[in-house]
Structure 1
Amino acid sequence: MQRALLLTTAAAVVLPLPSHARTPDAAADPLDEVVVTATRLPAIVQDTPGARVVDRATIDRRGAVFAADILADVPGLSVVRSGAFGGVAQVRMRGAGPGKTLVLVDGVPVNDPAEVNGAFDFGGFDLADIERIEVLSGPQSSLWGSDAIGGVIAFTTRETDGVAADLEAGSFDTRRGRLAVGTADVDRAVGAWLSHVVSEGISAADARDGGAERDGLRSTTAGIKGRYAFSPSISVDGSLRWTDAEVDLDGYPAPAFVLADTPDTQTSEQWSGFGRLHLSALGLDHRFSLSVHDLTRETVSDFPSVFDASRQAWRWQATGTARGVDFVLGAEREDAEGRLSTGLTGELGTTSAFATARVEPVARLSLTGALRHDATDDFGAKTTGRLSAAFDAGAGVTLSAAWGTGFKAPSISQAVCDFCFAPQPWPTLVPETAEGLEAAIGWRSADRRLEGRATLYRLKVEDQISYVAGRYVNIAETATDGVELEGRARLGGGFDLTAAYAWTDARDETTGARLLRVPEHAASATLGWSGERLSAAVTVRAESDQDDSDGFAAVVRDGFVTASLAGSYVLTEQVTLTARIENLTDEAYQQVFGYGEPGRSAYVGLRLRY
């Protein structure tokens, strides 16, 4: 089974060659495939509907500093950002609410249990230590349980061999630095890193005119990562990541209660990490792990708040092959707790069992199935599943399809009815559920210079929890129909082009209204060029109008087109000069109504490797 061998090899090396960094003879290399590993069983991206991988080379070429800078380029993802420098940034995947995307860092769930919807804030998430980003769109609860109802975004941190340093400075008194040291070989690796970003920023409420005060960001991230193989059958690995951030915010002060310059600030500190034992026994590859995440955030404003949250997950997973079937099975126990600003506290716990299997019943056809049972402590049990198929039709054409279900237990805020003012008894909440169906056709030329994929999907969420008349209720039903197009071309002469487009029809089935903050049309394209020493890339991104809210009433946020330019020049084998220009055309635009984005800005830096 050549594909089984391919996936085993790719999983072993962990980091496949980036698709845009292939050598001229890469088409002859059968291992030159992009592989996604957040699927439990490693899978080729072309065979996996809704799967995308953003590697480190793409992050560097794009000049992306924060996660929100590059996630907006992924088709089907809309980034909701209230403030450019560290402002709250959340992702809606295929129209699903922000709390319906599970975020993993080195396999550790880092969604905020104390946030109203249990969503993750991407605003200050620094990409300096990130090696790759994997995106799985559509219900993935059969793989990862609650919170993966709309999809998964998985970050993997970098492994350093030697010394690396990055320095950058530019507009808005922005300064950024990273230092990493480590050693790595086949059997062992250990490394540590420290990164820091500081910027005076812009006024979120009055970006174009400067505002009375600027909303800045100060963020520090540090981490350690290591692995050690005692023998071919026993090894350990783990990582620990810490972030401390302070962000200036604008708010809605009395008596007008409209967005305006305010001295509001938010501070946050979070830890995440895991420890894992790998053990080969009884014909299976076993992994025993413990992951932890702890978060404290405090807002100083006219409406101050303090939130504390923590999450622990114990997991056993076993991988093997029997009678031509690759499979994974395992069990998990996850506990989360949160202390809310009103003084209320809550806990959520889930015990789970899961299994995933892949088989090739006939030549060129791959079938994958996943089944998971989650028993929550307070909201009953739910079984979810996913089926997918991929068929190599020949002539470079791959046909694939998937169907899956998902669920999301109420968040701690919803469970304890935080800020509920309606008379009791309050309605008994039940988990939200989802069903997704998608089909894709992909094509790749024989020399692999051209490739593309078109995906058609439908995502439906039922029993969605909404805040109505002073309490939380299961009322809304939402549906999203969409088309995602993506392609890549090596044009010759050092040029290459990647492009993506998404049409998203996301609506509330209860009222017929379009869902807020989900543009119907979104597209991005990056044209890159690489020479012997110089390389550059220009990225253009566009979004159509979207329905939005000013906090009190429905409004429309105008569409926009913006562009950025990033480049690098290799001075020596150890030193590379970098530069980037954001918002090339000085477009006045907003990602969220009322919150202006920066005008034209420029940054220069050095990348050092020893």
Structure 2
Amino acid sequence: MSSRRTEDPMRRLLLLSSAIALSWPAHAQQLTQSIPETIVTATRIPTPQDRVPASVTVITREDIEERGYRTLADALVSVPGVRLVQTGGIGQQASAFVRGAASRQVLVLLDGVPLNDPSEPNGAFNFGNELLGDIERIEVVRGPASSLYGSGAVGGVINMITRRAPANTPFQGFGQGALGTNRTATGYIGGAGTTERWNWLAMGEGLSTRGADATAPRFNANTGERDGFSGAAATARLGFRPDADSLVQGLVRWRENQTSLDNVPRDDPNNEITDRMLYGQFQAETVIGGIWTTGLRASYVGTNRRNLNLPDPLQPVSADDQFRGDRQTYEWGNIVQFGEVGALRDVALTFGVVHALESTDSRSGAQPFQTTTDASARQNTFNVGFQARLFERLDVQAGIAQEEAEDYDGFTAWRLGGTLALPEINSRLIASAGTAFKAPSLYQRFGRIGTTFRGNPDLRPEDSFSWEVGMESDIPAFGNSAFATAGATWFRTEFNNLINFNAAFSTLENIDTASAQGAELYLTLRPAAWLELYGAWTITEAQDDNGNPLPRRPRNVATANARIAWDRFVVVPEVLFTGASPEGAFASYRNTGASVPVPDYNKSGMIWNLTATFRATERISVFAQGSNLTNSRYEPANGFVLPGRTALAGVRFVF
């Protein structure tokens, strides 16, 4: 990566990947298979992780398999700075609060394309839906990123990167199958290949379970009714390289989930939701003059959710709610690699423009209080970025983005950051600051509830100012130069123009402010070649302008795990601790119909998981997983209890 010669094949591959990283970070992730420390989501240019001026957690395919993660929600639970709240088991609604920001202020990408649902009232994302069979890597960037990705990237960005075909391999097959408690069956199967000019991948996956009862047993109306789930997904990719400097490729992904839902404080035997998503993108890029990489991408994301609840003895009212939304984006992105300029090296300039069209047609509830949203909106975002290295130890990155929207005030977001390498003490320092914004959703601007509520088309974007400083050090001991790695990051965010109901609940206004501050601390120990120990502790103090703590943001969240590897065995135990937190608007439901009264906040809870893998041959591995081994009845959200103790065992293969 250090070579500056554009004629070098690796250099050409890096330039080709960089263009896609700017316009669509997906393609640039092909390098992550051979250069795992390279990060794209935080910079749009492939950059070694220790030179990125942002807090980044990378979850690799190996992590997903060794820790038994099946959904995106599973994978995010142990990430520092992230508090994951799920109202039940697989497929149930899950929200992520990153560094105290609201879940709607976290942007989720698939290969660089935003997935946040335009039909969701707050423009948020359900983290409980996505299975991980076709995901190669997840990059979690904490902190403001609107200068790179526009609206929604206030608390951070989560980028899921799909699998790629292996290099120089005409055909490779792969798959997995497993069975478990609660009549759970899951698996995936696929194939991929690469020739001199073509690359391709096709795969499908599915998961079915009768699930567990999500309603807390402390409610008198609890009947023990289970919340089942069935989901399926298919992914196809095809790429063509007309010459060494150019690439054209397309990706299509389809997903459909069916989930049973529970209500609080009583079960509901026939409340079900169907959630479909169709995703596609087409992209092309080329290198001009050896230093300028330019690319185009068109993408589409369509969502269709239906919540059907027919009458029953416990719920005499029927409901048939439908939420349809789609987003079309057209992007032009550029990276110009200048190399060395005076005392600077690795100098790069990025610039581009994104045109997006969002629309929704949604209906829920019944008259006279039926909620409807039928609207669309366009916006253009222009971005410019710069990065360089000085004195072989100081990396500086800067970016600015201007969003222009047709029906609300736009926003200018910026970010400036740097990392300073201190090899004399095996350390690096990081510091950054920036602004971010979340545009008002289509419902917030144009939604209606009967004749009592109207959205406000004059809403301004929610916005924030954030800063962070941190330090990471490698600590030698016992003859090991990296016996331990310790890190600490301090952060603070001011949230402004937050959208909430007016006093009459007749519309919405920009009336709230809030703040969040805290620290992310972590330590990795490597006492032996076969043992790695990891622990992280996040402290967050989030409050509104009156000093009241924000709901579902616990002050303390901690995780600890180990990787024990010897011969053909890998064993990964994991402990997750979540401290107490207020429940906010939902606190009034906590004791309604409850046989055991509890305080109006979520109590703390601890979860123990264990996954073991045995490599039977070079191509076949068997694994077993136990989740919630202590059968904890912890409630992550008001009235919704964790699934009980579960087990899963299966086989994984590649040929």
TM over 0.5: yes
Structure 1 match to 2:267? 260
Q: 2:296 aligns with which of 284, 288, 302?
A: 288
Structure 1 match to 2:100? 95
Matched, 1:415 2:425: no
Q: Aligned equivalents of 2:135 and 2:559: distance in 1? A: 22
How far is the alpha carbon of 1:476 from its aligned partner? 1.1
Q: 2:44 aligns with which of 27, 36, 40?
A: 40
Q: Aligned equivalents of 2:626 and 2:556: distance in 1? A: 25
Structure 2 match to 1:272? 279
Structure 2 match to 1:501? 537
How far is the alpha carbon of 1:418 from its aligned partner? 3.3
Structure 2 match to 1:304? 320
Q: Aligned equivalents of 1:193 and 1:17: distance in 2? A: 19
Deviations 1:37-63 (A, max 9, x none): 442122333333222211111111111
Maintained 8 Å contact 1:207/1:598 = no
Q: Aligned equivalents of 2:252 and 2:456: distance in 1? A: 41
Matched, 1:472 2:494: no
How far is the alpha carbon of 1:486 from its aligned partner? 2.1
Matched, 1:134 2:139: yes
Query: What TM-score does the superposition give when structure 2 sets the normalisation length?
Result: 0.86
Q: Do the aligned partners of residues 498 and 185 (structure 1) sit closer, same or farther apart at CA in structure 2, a change above 3 Å counting? A: farther
Could you tell me which amino acid in structure 2 is paired with residue 122 of structure 1? F
Structure 2 match to 1:604? 649
The 3-state SS of whatever aligns with 1:444 is strand
Structure 2 match to 1:25? none
Matched, 1:485 2:495: no
Structure 1 match to 2:330? 314
Matched, 1:459 2:493: yes
Structure 1 match to 2:368? none
After TM superposition, list the pairs within 5 Å mapping 1:37-436 onto structure 2: 37-47=41-51, 48-161=53-166, 162-184=172-194, 187-206=197-216, 211-252=223-264, 258-282=265-289, 283-301=291-309, 302-322=318-338, 323=341, 324=345, 325-341=347-363, 342-394=371-423, 395-419=425-449, 422=452, 428-436=458-466
How far is the alpha carbon of 1:405 from its aligned partner? 0.4
Q: Do the aligned partners of residues 423 and 160 (structure 1) sit closer, same or farther apart at CA in structure 2, a change above 3 Å counting? A: closer
Structure 2 match to 1:591? 636
The answer to which of 277-286 and 163-172 deviates more is 277-286
Structure 1 match to 2:606? 561
Maintained 8 Å contact 1:45/1:52 = no
Matched, 1:574 2:586: no
How far is the alpha carbon of 1:13 from its aligned partner? 7.3
Q: Aligned equivalents of 1:264 and 1:271: distance in 2? A: 24
Q: Aligned equivalents of 1:449 and 1:184: distance in 2? A: 39
The 3-state SS of whatever aligns with 1:595 is coil
Maintained 8 Å contact 1:38/1:154 = no
Q: Aligned equivalents of 1:343 and 1:604: distance in 2? A: 45
Deviations 1:105-138 (A, max 9, x none): 0111110011111011111210111100011111
Q: Aligned equivalents of 1:58 and 1:465: distance in 2? A: 38
Q: Aligned equivalents of 1:561 and 1:246: distance in 2? A: 29
Could you tell me which amino acid in structure 1 is paired with residue 123 of structure 2? G
Deviations 1:223-272 (A, max 9, x none): 102322111111112211110110000125xxxxx343342000011111
Deviations 1:450-473 (A, max 9, x none): 323210000111000013432211
The 3-state SS of whatever aligns with 1:413 is helix
Q: Which runs of 5+ in 1 are unaligned?
A: 19-30, 253-257
The answer to which of 201-210 and 63-72 deviates more is 201-210
Matched, 1:531 2:560: no
Q: Aligned equivalents of 1:4 and 1:352: distance in 2? A: 31
Q: For the aligned residues, what is the CA RMSD?
A: 2.4
Query: What TM-score does the superposition give when structure 1 sets the normalisation length?
Result: 0.92
Q: Do the aligned partners of residues 594 and 424 (structure 1) sit closer, same or farther apart at CA in structure 2, a change above 3 Å counting? A: closer
Deviations 1:124-183 (A, max 9, x none): 210111100011111111000011122110000112451111001111111001001111
The 3-state SS of whatever aligns with 2:231 is strand
Q: Aligned equivalents of 1:81 and 1:32: distance in 2? A: 30
Maintained 8 Å contact 1:17/1:34 = no
How far is the alpha carbon of 1:574 from its aligned partner? 2.0
Q: Aligned equivalents of 1:353 and 1:204: distance in 2? A: 45
Maintained 8 Å contact 2:30/2:164 = no
The 3-state SS of whatever aligns with 1:414 is helix
Could you tell me which amino acid in structure 1 is paired with residue 182 of structure 2? F
The answer to which of 480-489 and 162-171 deviates more is 480-489
The 3-state SS of whatever aligns with 2:618 is coil
Structure 2 match to 1:26? none
The 3-state SS of whatever aligns with 1:60 is helix
The 3-state SS of whatever aligns with 1:590 is coil
Maintained 8 Å contact 1:518/1:547 = yes
Could you tell me which amino acid in structure 2 is paired with residue 362 of structure 1? F
Q: Aligned equivalents of 1:187 and 1:512: distance in 2? A: 60
How far is the alpha carbon of 1:449 from its aligned partner? 4.2
Deviations 1:468-499 (A, max 9, x none): 43221111111100100123232215111122
Q: Which runs of 5+ in 2 are unaligned?
A: 19-27, 167-171, 310-317, 364-370, 590-599
Q: Do the aligned partners of residues 383 and 481 (structure 1) sit closer, same or farther apart at CA in structure 2, a change above 3 Å counting? A: same
Q: Do the aligned partners of residues 512 and 427 (structure 1) sit closer, same or farther apart at CA in structure 2, a change above 3 Å counting? A: farther
Q: Aligned equivalents of 1:425 and 1:88: distance in 2? A: 24
Maintained 8 Å contact 1:140/1:148 = yes
The 3-state SS of whatever aligns with 1:232 is coil
Could you tell me which amino acid in structure 2 is paired with residue 586 of structure 1? N
How far is the alpha carbon of 1:186 from its aligned partner? 6.5
The answer to which of 449-458 and 107-116 deviates more is 449-458
Could you tell me which amino acid in structure 2 is paired with residue 577 of structure 1? V
The answer to which of 524-533 and 488-497 deviates more is 488-497
